[in-house]
Amino acid sequence: MNPLDVTSALMDGPGVEVGTCAKCGSRSVGLCAPLNAAALDEMAGDSHLRTLQRRSSIFDQGEPATSVFTLTTGIARLTRSLADGRHAVIGFRYAGDLVGYTPLAEYPHGADMLTEGTVCRMERGRLEGMFRKYPLLERRLIDLCHVELASTQEHLVALGRFRAEDRVAAFLISLAEAQERRGNPGPVFAMPATRGDVGDFLGLSVETVSRTISRFQRQGWIKLPGRAAVELTQRSKLMALATGDET
């Protein structure tokens, strides 16, 4: 397991049938991964594709949780806000990830787009109806949730016990790993999150994130070949910080 997973990690394993969602047009890697063609068609029939601009909201914290979404393209940010305006980024989600499923009446967090992208929306009730018909779907949701839980717990350790430098290193590593799992071979990875987003994710101020990234760059551990890109040139150094191997 890697440090500080920015996204749910369970990719198709053995025994997973691969199909294509008619609506989404993309190979199903998320919730629908275990479905066959007929089931995929049925899922697609109940769902609606929507294009979203950068920074637009998919749903807000506290809103009635009536829909679930599959992010089909783009990168999203999950946020939790406090009464006084402080807020935290609790995770990032990539194409293929399921967003907004909860058994609670209201979304416990908000979700918005970091890049422009598309989501596939389905009524929560319809999804729950599909569960009865396709038990594999329910199985899949359990697995996805537990993997997400494990990665959230790693994140917890990072916030509770890592220093600023370690957290930023762990973030960069997990960013790279998430994209590698999704087919980007590197060594350059997309980083559409601003310093502020990263700070809100890691419990740090914008300035500390900026200073730490500058330092990594000065040390030759990373390069920033553009506004929204990062290259990890000395990944092992970052990894050492991220895993807490020595100090």
Work out what residue 148 binds among DNA, its own copies, none; the CB cut-off runs from 5 to 8 Å by kind. its own copies
Shortest CB 170 distance to its own copies, Å? 11
Stretch that binds DNA, among 93-101, 135-143, 160-168, 180-188 (CB under 7 A): 160-168
Q: Which is nearer to DNA, 58 or 120 (CB)?
A: 58
Whether the CB-CB separation of 79 and 61 falls below 8 Å is answered with yes
- For its own copies, the binding residue among 148, 174, 221, 235 (CB under 8 A) is 148
Maximal C-alpha separation, the chain: 56
Q: Which helix (H) or strand (E) holds 229?
A: strand 229-232
Shortest CB 225 distance to its own copies, Å? 29
3-class secondary structure, 145 = helix
Residue 165 makes contact with its own copies by CB under 8 A: no
**Alpha carbon distance 197, 204 (integer Å):** 10
**Alpha carbon distance 13, 247 (integer Å):** 36
Residue 200 makes contact with its own copies by CB under 8 A: yes
Shortest CB 226 distance to DNA, Å? 7
Residue 207 makes contact with DNA by CB under 7 A: yes
Whether the CB-CB separation of 244 and 189 falls below 8 Å is answered with no
**Alpha carbon distance 213, 142 (integer Å):** 36
3-class secondary structure, 81 = strand
Q: Which residues bind its own copies (CB under 8 A)?
A: 1, 10, 80, 82-84, 86-88, 90, 101-104, 108-109, 131-132, 135, 138-139, 141-143, 145-150, 152-157, 159-161, 200-203, 243-247
